[in-house]
């Protein structure tokens, strides 16, 4: 084959590859649910179908409203008042500073986890908090603040789940579970800094293709307890670091105040080894779902630790927190976290816009 024919054949092959990729995307059940001008790593959907997204303030991404509601014209700040007007130097006590998770449960309130300070910052007293907003009005329905006993210095509230009157929160800074009783107003800290709540030292957090994440100095992410789920019957609390493994503890032990952490440690069970993940979800039937950041996929975690790939798509860059709406659509943010300087050898390769995708569960 001469060079001219070689070039023509190469161009034809490239065109065919693009057509094949387009065909795969058009055939894929994955569709864009949200397009955001700000980095977003979480979504929650109300019973009426309104979508809310959280906007964490990582380095280089501080100029966002922290929380937004998706409208026909795109995301707009929510609730759209002083809560969205935090600026560097503000205390953040009554402002949304660094939202790491957003959820809507059966109470149909928008719950957020505010770490109280931007990435690598130190929150002012009272700035680390949970806030619940009324969907229709944006009024604050509930604020849960953390004191030094429930969140010691170095702690970072990460994610939450609600079961009955109890809120369960992971601490990804030190490792631990925070439990707040909405009825009594009492907050307690459990499993504090136990090895099972920390990233195993031999495991590394990975991005696409198994690339080990690190900054320009080779420092790797050290995220402690992060993901959590409560089984539909309330009998089990599952938790994990982004590297795994997935572990669980029976809530009857966790809620027994007669048992100290050393005793509770003996009741922690290893549930499954998992790849690096960005988030989890559990449906009303107890099915467990993982967002696999190494393969850009969403998987079902089966009893016994086996995993079933439900969807794989290269658009799921750093697939993060998962959310299942009432129509059994699962929402998957693609926040590009593996391209942040802290995970990409100091080079920022993130680029707007950011997308949240969805597809129907079987």
pLDDT category of residue 149 using cuts at 50, 70 and 90: very high
- Span of 25-34, 76-85, 88-97, 314-323 with lowest mean pLDDT: 25-34
What is the average pLDDT across 52-73?
Answer: 96
What is the average pLDDT across 127-149?
Answer: 97
**When comparing pLDDT for 9 and 127, which is higher?**
127
The pLDDT of residue 180 is 98
Region at 23 (left for phi over 0; alpha for psi -120 to 50; beta for the rest): alpha
The pLDDT of residue 94 is 97
User: Residue 292 to residues 5, 25, 247, 298: CA-CA distances in angstroms?
Assistant: 42, 19, 17, 6
Report whether pLDDT(13) > 80.
no
**Which two three-digit tokens encode residue 144?**
């849960």
Of all helices (H) and strands (E), which one includes residue 36?
strand 31-36
Report strand pairing: 129-134 vs 109-114: antiparallel
* Whole-prediction pTM: 0.91
DSSP 362: -
The pLDDT of residue 28 is 77
Report whether pLDDT(3) > 80.
no
Report whether pLDDT(337) > 80.
yes
Report whether pLDDT(324) > 90.
yes
Report whether pLDDT(44) > 50.
yes
The pLDDT of residue 119 is 87
Report whether pLDDT(42) > 50.
yes
The pLDDT of residue 302 is 92
- Residue in the block written with tokens 């009857």: 252
The pLDDT of residue 27 is 62
User: Residue 170 to residues 155, 167, 277, 316: CA-CA distances in angstroms?
Assistant: 10, 10, 16, 24
pLDDT category of residue 20 using cuts at 50, 70 and 90: very low
- Span of 57-66, 226-235, 258-267 with lowest mean pLDDT: 57-66
Report whether pLDDT(191) > 90.
yes
Strand order in the sheet with 323-324: 31-36, 354-360, 329-334, 323-324
Q: How far apart are the first and last CA of the chain?
A: 49
**When comparing pLDDT for 16 and 76, which is higher?**
76
Report whether pLDDT(141) > 70.
yes
């Amino acid at each position: 084959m001469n060079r001219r024919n070689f070039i023509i054949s190469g161009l034809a092959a490239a065109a065919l590859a693009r057509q094949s990729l387009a065909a795969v995307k058009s055939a894929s059940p994955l569709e864009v649910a949200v397009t955001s001008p700000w980095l977003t790593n979480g979504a929650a959907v109300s019973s009426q179908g309104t979508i809310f997204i959280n906007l964490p303030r990582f380095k280089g991404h501080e100029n966002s409203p922290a929380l937004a509601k998706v409208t026909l014209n795109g995301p707009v700040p929510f609730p759209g008042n002083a809560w969205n007007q935090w600026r560097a130097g503000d205390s953040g006590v009554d402002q949304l500073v660094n939202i790491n998770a957003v959820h809507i449960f059966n109470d149909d309130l928008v719950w957020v986890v505010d770490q109280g300070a931007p990435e690598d910052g130190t929150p002012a007293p009272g700035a680390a908090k949970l806030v619940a907003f009324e969907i229709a009005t944006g009024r604050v329905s509930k604020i849960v603040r953390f004191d030094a006993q429930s969140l010691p210095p170095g702690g970072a509230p990460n994610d939450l789940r609600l079961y009955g009157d109890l809120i369960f929160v992971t601490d990804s800074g030190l490792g631990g579970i925070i439990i707040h009783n909405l009825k009594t107003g009492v907050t307690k800290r459990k499993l504090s800094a136990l090895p099972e709540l920390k990233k195993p030292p031999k495991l590394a957090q990975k991005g696409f293709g198994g690339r080990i994440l690190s900054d320009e100095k080779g420092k790797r992410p050290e995220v402690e307890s992060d993901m959590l789920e409560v089984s539909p019957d309330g009998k089990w609390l599952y938790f994990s670091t982004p590297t795994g493994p997935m572990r669980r503890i029976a809530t009857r032990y966790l809620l027994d105040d007669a048992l100290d952490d050393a005793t509770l440690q003996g009741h922690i069970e290893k549930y499954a080894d998992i790849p690096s993940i960005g988030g989890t979800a559990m449906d009303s039937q107890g099915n467990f779902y993982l967002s696999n950041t190494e393969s850009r996929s969403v998987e079902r975690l089966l009893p016994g630790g086996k995993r079933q790939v439900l969807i794989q798509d290269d658009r799921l860059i750093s697939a993060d927190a998962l959310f299942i709406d009432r129509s059994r659509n699962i929402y998957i943010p693609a926040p590009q976290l593996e391209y942040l300087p802290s995970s990409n050898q100091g080079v920022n390769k993130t680029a707007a816009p950011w997308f949240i995708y969805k597809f129907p569960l079987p």
